[in-house]
Amino acid sequence: MFPYLAKKIAIPNGVKVRTLSYSTESGAGGGWLACGGDDGMLKVLKLETVSGGGSGIAAPTKLEMNQNLEGHKGSVIVTTWNPVFRKLTSSDQNGLIIVWLLFKGTWVEEM
């Protein structure tokens, strides 16, 4: 799969992006994009999915969610999705690993 995002996403203060990962899970859990960078910047975006057939095709015009996650102090260098448990794991240059989960419509730090 080669996703193409046709929407500009604001990155605060021109922070350099270090990692980008996409949740390829089909159905209701798919369409998530995690973007990590310098100064602890971590954003989670939910792309609007086109209904019909469960194809998971992202519409180019809307974001259902654009949330900044706080917890990292150093540059976020790794983000990865766990489609089985619908969680996001991120790690920064200092070795801090955070597991995030979606709770009541908001991404929160689990551990």
pLDDT at 31: 82
Rounded-to-integer distance, Cα 108 and Cα 111, Å: 9
Q: What is the pTM (predicted TM-score) of this model?
A: 0.79
Kindly state whether residue 49 falls inside one of the protein's structural domains: yes
Kindly state whether residue 8 falls inside one of the protein's structural domains: no
**Phi and psi of 66, rounded to 5°?**
-145, 95
Domain of 63, in residue numbers: 16-109
Rounded-to-integer distance, Cα 69 and Cα 66, Å: 10
Kindly state whether residue 6 falls inside one of the protein's structural domains: no
Kindly state whether residue 2 falls inside one of the protein's structural domains: no
Q: Choose among 54, 76, 77, 63: nearest CA to 10.
A: 63
What is the residue-level pLDDT of the chain in tens, covering all 111 positions?
555 566 667 777 778 999 999 887 655 556 889 999 999 999 998 877 665 555 555 545 577 888 999 999 999 999 999 988 889 999 999 999 999 999 998 999 997
> Cβ neighbours of residue 108 under 8 Å, at least 6 residues apart?
100, 101, 102
**Count of domains for the chain:** 1
Q: Where are the alpha helices (DSSP H) in the chain?
A: none
